[in-house]
Amino acid sequence: MPNVTEGCVADAATGVRLATRSDESDLRELTSLAVQGDRTAIESLLGQLRPMVVRYCRARLGRVSGQYHIADDVAQEVCIAVLSALPRYRDMGRPFASFVFGIASHKVADALRSSVRSAVPTQDLPDGPDEGPGPEETVVRYIEAQHARDLLARLPDTQRELLILRVVSGLSAEETGNVLGMTPGAVRVAQHRALARLRQLAELESIA
């Protein structure tokens, strides 16, 4: 069984960066080592992919009782599924990220279908002052984020996936294309149309 330890993606600067071509080649090499069972490579690979998976699950599933526990649990399931599938993974020319987000997409769909809304544990009381935003700012941000999710849910599946992978998970147009089976050019056109549709939906709601 894998060991499970506490982690954090709150520091967005360390978790989000767009991949370059050399990153992709490094990731391919890392994946190859991980498939062969290299423990350091497995840890490093999951360390790179996990923040993107968590963001994807959080964006798709949202909060329950103000917390991301369910989304984070699904992200954990994705990571465990990836870890379990690693020995059977064969490089067919597509980036490893497309394999990972394929699993993530299915896990999120399963979670949405079951829509389990079980009791959610509260966070531990902090030892020191909360350095985060105040209650008013938190509520405004929460409402806007939920509004974004509601409007994204009204987009066609591909457009929604595309915007979430591209913006929230922080994949490049090339990586997003690899996940969705599109060329980078098609991604750029589709994301432009998706953003226009999202804008249109937001404007229609503001008028109504």
Query: Closest distance between other proteins and the C-beta of residue 91, in Å?
Result: 20
Closer Cβ to other proteins, 7 or 156, answer by number: 7
Query: Closest distance between other proteins and the C-beta of residue 40, in Å?
Result: 10
Closer Cβ to other proteins, 27 or 52, answer by number: 52
Structural contact between residues 56 and 104, judged by C-beta atoms closer than 8 angstroms: yes
Closer Cβ to other proteins, 76 or 98, answer by number: 76
Closer Cβ to other proteins, 27 or 177, answer by number: 177
Query: Closest distance between other proteins and the C-beta of residue 6, in Å?
Result: 7
Measured in Å, how far apart are the chain's first and last C-alpha atoms?
Answer: 52
Closer Cβ to other proteins, 3 or 118, answer by number: 3
Query: Of 101, 116, 102, whose CA–CA distance to 71 is shortest?
Result: 116
| CA 34/CA 37 separation, integer angstroms | 5
Query: Closest distance between other proteins and the C-beta of residue 32, in Å?
Result: 17
Distance of CA 151 to the CA centre of its chain: 18
| CA 194/CA 188 separation, integer angstroms | 10
Token digits of residue 95 = 């980036």
| CA 141/CA 62 separation, integer angstroms | 13
Query: Closest distance between other proteins and the C-beta of residue 29, in Å?
Result: 19
